[in-house]
């Protein structure tokens, strides 16, 4: 028997706006698609939060014993600047500015994306397909939609006919918009535009001579519209209807709305059973944006190389910070919040280390069974990680009291407590205990502190030859001592 058979999981479905009991299409199996990054710059911390939410969800499904096929794509073509219908491809623009081949841009930022996700301890998805690897599939879908007369060709481009689609289907059902309102709120088309209506969107765009990313098609050389790749890849790997589609809140409209329209126009059925959307990350109460400077890259947090935070923070601490908010809530990053998360993270890891050293007695003062049920209840309530973490800290509190000998735990309960705690902390939340790197850095700090003490002793004894030798030799190793009024500190260059 798998764990999921004894659990009732509820998911907030963005399509219905309600929490619904989750039932996969095929028992024991889950198909999940998440819109991946457009690889034209370093991955944003806000995007990391979205992907981390789905990593946690993927982890929990696996923890429950489901077999999950998790598809997260890489957008390496078709995503235009400002998400516009006309304009330059984001990757082609970067390639032009940096004098690189578009695929060099793609490679560089795909590597960056994977590096950062690995540092954050993400599990790799089951399939990570690319848009450029699925041009043929995209062309086939366009042909199908044209055959069904939900699209039209104009001067080598193909557009989706939203009004026609809306006659028999409901365009706007995910984002809660009505086509009539959208029409009355948009400007009229100018004479040069090829679209019949402003709401229509491109399935295929004719490539102008200067456009370097281009493929042959029945309508001439061009490139696919951005929304199409996700329909092509999710259908190919998960089927015409699949369980979960996720992404950032900002993708709900138009991207996900268009995905629904394309799939319904082509297959006649709704592609996704549960739509899930993760909320955004702000910093110091404001939207994060490169243009305003209110921005920080994940790597800058790990190294401490930034003007925003007082010190470096480990990826696991940042991950713990992100898990302390529900994935549908806005989360605000600040120095104080990270400091608090670091404290909590250490406390949690220390308690985990302490379990083995607790003395066993004949009975327990901690009701493991009901605590365990509370932990699962939190996760089963739309992946409520902040409530789960509060429950984990109930156990931390108990462990610390038991450590002082003021409460007791039986030997079998000790084993269960450790197993459940480790399951949630490492498997589900994806946190990491002391890594080799962190342990080495702790050891280095200890050794340098010892040398600082020996140097102080030498100076007190007026043995300046020894104190200078310690300072100089540390400096030659790249460790700089700084004498201040509160004593000596050091930095590793
Ligand atoms: Zn997508």
Q: Are residues 322 and 271 in the same domain?
A: no
79 contacts 106 by C-beta, under 8 angstroms: no
Lowest mean pLDDT among 84-93, 338-347, 393-402, 484-493: 484-493
Could you report the per-residue pLDDT of 186-198, keeping only the tens digit for each? 776 665 689 999 9
Distance 44 CA to ligand 1 centre (A): 17
Out of 278, 305, 337, a domain closes at 278
Q: Are residues 423 and 441 in the same domain?
A: no
Residue range(s) defining the domain that contains residue 482: 436-492
pTM to 2 decimal places: 0.88
- The percent of residues above 70 in pLDDT, for the chain, comes to 96
Among 298, 299, 242, smallest CA distance to 275 is for 242
Among 326, 424, 416, smallest CA distance to 375 is for 424
With respect to residue 206, please indicate whether it lies within any of the assigned structural domains. yes
Distance 34 CA to ligand 1 centre (A): 7
Please classify residue 281 by burial: count the beta carbons closer than 10 Å to its beta carbon, then call 0-12 exposed, 13-18 middle and 19+ buried.
buried
Distance 111 CA to ligand 1 centre (A): 20
Q: Are residues 414 and 441 in the same domain?
A: no
Distance 256 CA to ligand 1 centre (A): 7
Distance 235 CA to ligand 1 centre (A): 12
Distance 490 CA to ligand 1 centre (A): 47
With respect to residue 412, please indicate whether it lies within any of the assigned structural domains. yes
d(CA 36, CA 366): 43
**How many domains does the structure of the chain reveal?**
3
Lowest mean pLDDT among 59-73, 257-271, 288-302, 472-486: 472-486
From the centroid of its chain, how far is CA 427?
16
With respect to residue 289, please indicate whether it lies within any of the assigned structural domains. yes
Distance 227 CA to ligand 1 centre (A): 6
Distance 72 CA to ligand 1 centre (A): 9
Out of 278, 313, 328, a domain closes at 278
Sign, CA torsion 110/113/119/123: negative
Q: Are residues 274 and 286 in the same domain?
A: no
Dihedral pair phi/psi, residue 117, rounded to 5°:
-65, -35
Distance 468 CA to ligand 1 centre (A): 61
Among 61, 231, 273, 244, smallest CA distance to 129 is for 231
How does DSSP assign 143-210, residue by residue?
A: HHHHHTTSEEEETTEEEE-HHHHHHHS-TTTTTT--HHHHHHTSPPPPTT---SSTT-EEEEEEPPTT
The H or E element that residue 413 is part of is: helix 411-422
Could you report the per-residue pLDDT of 337-393, keeping only the tens digit for each? 999 999 999 999 999 999 999 999 999 999 999 999 999 999 999 999 999 999 999
Distance 479 CA to ligand 1 centre (A): 47
Distance 397 CA to ligand 1 centre (A): 43
Distance 293 CA to ligand 1 centre (A): 27
């Amino acid at each position: 028997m798998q764990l999921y058979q004894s659990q009732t999981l509820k998911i907030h479905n963005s399509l219905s706006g309600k929490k619904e009991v989750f039932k996969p299409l095929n028992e024991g199996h889950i198909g999940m698609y998440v819109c991946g990054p457009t690889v034209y710059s370093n991955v944003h911390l806000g995007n990391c939060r979205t992907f981390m939410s789905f990593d946690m969800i993927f982890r929990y499904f696996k923890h429950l014993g489901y077999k999950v096929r998790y598809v997260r794509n890489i957008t390496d073509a078709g995503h235009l600047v400002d998400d516009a219908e006309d304009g330059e491809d984001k990757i082609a623009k970067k390639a032009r500015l940096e004098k690189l081949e578009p695929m060099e841009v793609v490679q560089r930022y795909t590597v960056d994306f994977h590096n950062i996700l690995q540092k954050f301890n993400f599990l790799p998805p089951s399939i990570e397909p690319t848009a450029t690897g699925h041009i043929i599939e995209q062309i086939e879908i366009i042909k199908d939609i044209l055959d069904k007369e939900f699209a039209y060709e104009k001067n080598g481009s193909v557009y989706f006919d939203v009004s026609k689609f809306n006659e028999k289907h409901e365009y706007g059902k995910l984002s809660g918009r009505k086509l009539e309102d959208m029409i009355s709120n948009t400007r009229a088309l100018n004479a040069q535009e090829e679209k019949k209506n402003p709401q229509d969107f491109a399935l295929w765009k004719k490539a102008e001579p200067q456009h370097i990313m281009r493929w042959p098609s029945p309508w001439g050389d061009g490139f696919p519209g951005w929304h199409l790749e996700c329909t092509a890849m999710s259908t190919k790997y998960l089927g015409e209807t699949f369980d979960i589609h996720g992404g950032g809140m900002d993708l709900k409209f138009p991207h996900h709305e268009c995905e629904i329209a394309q799939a319904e126009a082509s297959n006649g059925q709704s592609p996704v059973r549960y739509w899930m959307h993760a909320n955004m990350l702000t910093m110091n109460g404001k939207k994060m944006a490169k243009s305003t400077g209110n921005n920080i890259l994940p790597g800058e947090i790990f190294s401490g190389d930034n003007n925003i935070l007082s010190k470096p923070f480990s990826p696991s601490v940042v991950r713990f910070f992100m898990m302390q908010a529900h994935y549908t809530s806005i989360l605000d990053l600040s120095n104080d919040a990270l400091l608090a998360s670091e404290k909590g993270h250490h406390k949690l890891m220390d308690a985990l280390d302490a379990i083995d050293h607790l003395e066993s007695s004949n009975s327990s003062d901690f009701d493991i069974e009901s605590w365990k049920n509370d932990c699962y209840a939190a996760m089963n309530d739309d992946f409520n990680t902040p409530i789960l973490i509060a429950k984990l800290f109930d156990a931390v509190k108990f462990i610390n009291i038991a450590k002082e000998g003021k409460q007791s735990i039986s030997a079998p309960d000790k084993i269960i407590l450790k197993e459940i705690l480790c399951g949630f902390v490492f498997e589900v939340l994806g946190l990491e205990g002391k890594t080799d790197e962190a342990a080495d850095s702790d050891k280095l700090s200890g050794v340098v502190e010892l040398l600082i003490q020996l140097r102080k002793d030498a100076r007190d004894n007026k043995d300046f030859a020894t104190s200078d030798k310690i300072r100089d030799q540390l400096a030659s190793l790249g460790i700089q001592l700084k004498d201040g009024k509160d004593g000596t500190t050091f930095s590793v260059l």
